[in-house]
A and B are shown apart, each in its own frame.
Chain A
Amino acid sequence: MRHEDGSKIASPEQMQEWMKQTMDWIGGIAAQNKFVGGTGLLFADAKVVHHNKMVTDGPFGEIKETIGGFITVRAESAEEAAEFAKGCPVLQGEGNTMEVRRIHKNEGGH
């Protein structure tokens, strides 16, 4: 999932509501026995290491939306995985996106 740092644009209450929506979304996938795992990524302490080995804070620069986390699902096809992605609450934010990728050499996983 690619999105803005929510804490910069929303109240703690709103953040909590998003969290709950995310849990419901993942719970719905898990209820179909298609959830494999998930990892949320923090915005704090983010670093970018550039090709000249220079280290800067935060990845963001020109783009506001960056990887905020990922989940792994068991899907028959990329299309099914995209269907799951449609339910993700980050898509409520304009400019946010979900990217679907197949895992390399992982039989049956997408």
Chain B
Amino acid sequence: MKQQELIPHLFRTEYRKIVSVLCKRFGFDQIEIAEDITADTFLAASQTWPYKGIPQNPVAWLYFVAKNKAKNHLQRNLVFESKVSEELKRSSDEAYETGIDLSPQNINDSQLQMMFAICQPSISQEAQIGLSLRILCGFGIEEIANAFLSSKETINKRLFRAKEKLRKENVKIEFPGPAEIDERLGSVLTTLYLLFNEGYYSSSQDTTIRRDLCDEAMRLCTMLVENKLTGKPEVNALLALMYFQASRFNARIDQNGELVLYDDQDTNLWDAELISKGAYFLNCATTGNTLSQYHIQAAIAYWGTQKADTPEKWKNVLQLYNQLLQLEYSPIAALNRTYALSKTAGKEAAIIEAEKLKLSNNHFYYTLLGELYTDIDNGIARQHFQNALALARTQTDKQIIQRKIDCLA
């Protein structure tokens, strides 16, 4: 790998590890110092390597430099503190010598613990995802702004406020106790789920960023799966869901970057390897006696990977949506359930159910009604599609709806 590519690559893979380890050592209240030291380390690399050549082991070089910078920082603090108390110096002498542990085990633990520190219900979901991208995924502020279709300034402010809040709450970088872990794990999984969806359903036209978001969500979820404290059935189920969805990533977007609807996808582009990984993790998820929403969603996504459009497929999907809605209502699940109903009980029956949903500010609702009325009453279908068009926000959605209207004529 050439130098111009090497440093950005290492930034993506190593920044998060160094920050997590340093921050765990310093405490969350010093997260900015941890970030500064890490950024300084990469700056030193970009200043030194062009002249002295790339070190034999670039990662070890980064760890070594980061460790020294961190030691200097701690020592400076210590000199200051020792003026206050000699006792303090002796007691913390050992701590700064041995405290910075960049072993694979500690890097892994620190990142997982950082995940729990960031995914706090006290800060907004958007802030949790932003901080995760920055601290756990090593994304630049500009990349985060791109992913959220927002400005660098807005993202900077959002992240700053979130860090302040976490600092005030005295958030600890540690694993929650066994009694707490299920509850806290719920917040972590929600954030990873949204991070994945941000990539999968994002309106950002930048395909590379979208793919990166999905990959990062899967990488973080894999870390949770592999740890024995956090590798619970619902975590495996979420990872299975991600693999099943990701298997269609290449089929969902055409050469022009436009969305290809499920029914129009070239099934040869579905990734069989990812599907089988999904099946593997779904199998791992079937222990214990909790049925999470991720189990049901993964099971629905499994049927989504089955190419044959059989009655069996839609009967199963309908029952799964029935279950999912009892566990966790969402408008999109309600709409998908009604679509599955149209596939098993026919359009007329589905129209009756659809009209009860009354999701009148949702363009997918009108798109569904338009679909159901197509070939039954094209005039009504057209009205619904027009409503959908008026409510749709993104260009992609508008194009899809317009194509449906054109097909009616």
Pick from B319, B329, B341: contact of A30, CB under 8 Å:
B329
Q: Which residue of B lies closest to A35 (CB)?
A: B326
Contact A31 B357 (CB under 8 A): yes
Most chain B CB atoms below 10 A, which of A24, A31, A33, A35: A31
Contact B326 A33 (CB under 8 A): no
Q: Does A27 contact B (CB under 8 A)?
A: yes
Residues of A near B323 (CB, < 8 A) are 23, 27
Contact B322 A27 (CB under 8 A): yes
Q: Does B16 contact A (CB under 8 A)?
A: no
Complex: A26 Cα to B338 Cα, angstroms? 13
Contact A23 B334 (CB under 8 A): no
A71-95 interface (Cβ within 8 A of B) = none
Most chain A CB atoms below 10 A, which of B319, B322, B329, B358: B322
B329-363 interface (Cβ within 8 A of A) = 329, 333-334, 337-338, 341, 353, 356-358
Contact B325 A30 (CB under 8 A): yes
Q: Does A32 contact B (CB under 8 A)?
A: yes
Contact A33 B334 (CB under 8 A): yes
Q: Which residue of B lies closest to A83 (CB)?
A: B356
Complex: A38 Cα to B337 Cα, angstroms? 19
Contact B326 A32 (CB under 8 A): no
Residues of A near B338 (CB, < 8 A) are 31
Residues of A near B357 (CB, < 8 A) are 31-32
A6-42 interface (Cβ within 8 A of B) = 20, 23-24, 26-28, 30-33, 35, 38
Q: Does B294 contact A (CB under 8 A)?
A: no
| Size of interface on A: residues with Cβ below 8 Å to B | 12
Complex: A102 Cα to B390 Cα, angstroms? 40
Complex: A23 Cα to B338 Cα, angstroms? 13
Pick from A20, A27, A38: contact of B325, CB under 8 Å:
A27
Contact A32 B356 (CB under 8 A): yes
Q: Which residue of A lies closest to B354 (CB)?
A: A31
Contact B319 A28 (CB under 8 A): no
Contact B326 A20 (CB under 8 A): no
Residues of A near B318 (CB, < 8 A) are 24, 27
Closest CB in chain B relative to A21 CB, distance in Å: 11
Residues of B near A38 (CB, < 8 A) are 326
Known contacts A31-B337, A32-B334, A33-B334; is A23 also within 8 Å of B322 by CB?
yes
Residues of A near B358 (CB, < 8 A) are 32
Q: Does B364 contact A (CB under 8 A)?
A: no
Contact B325 A35 (CB under 8 A): yes
Q: Does B366 contact A (CB under 8 A)?
A: no
29 contacts between A and B (CB under 8 A): A20-B319, A23-B319, A24-B318, A24-B322, A24-B341, A26-B322, A26-B326, A27-B319, A27-B321, A27-B325, A27-B326, A27-B337, A30-B322, A30-B334, A31-B321, A31-B325, A31-B329, A31-B333, A31-B334, A31-B337, A31-B356, A32-B334, A32-B357, A32-B358, A33-B329, A35-B325, A35-B326, A35-B329, A38-B326
A27-B323, A27-B326, A28-B356 known; 19 new pairs, CB 8 Å cut-off, are A23-B322, A24-B341, A27-B318, A27-B319, A27-B322, A28-B353, A30-B326, A30-B329, A30-B334, A31-B321, A31-B325, A31-B353, A31-B356, A31-B357, A32-B334, A35-B325, A35-B326, A35-B329, A38-B326
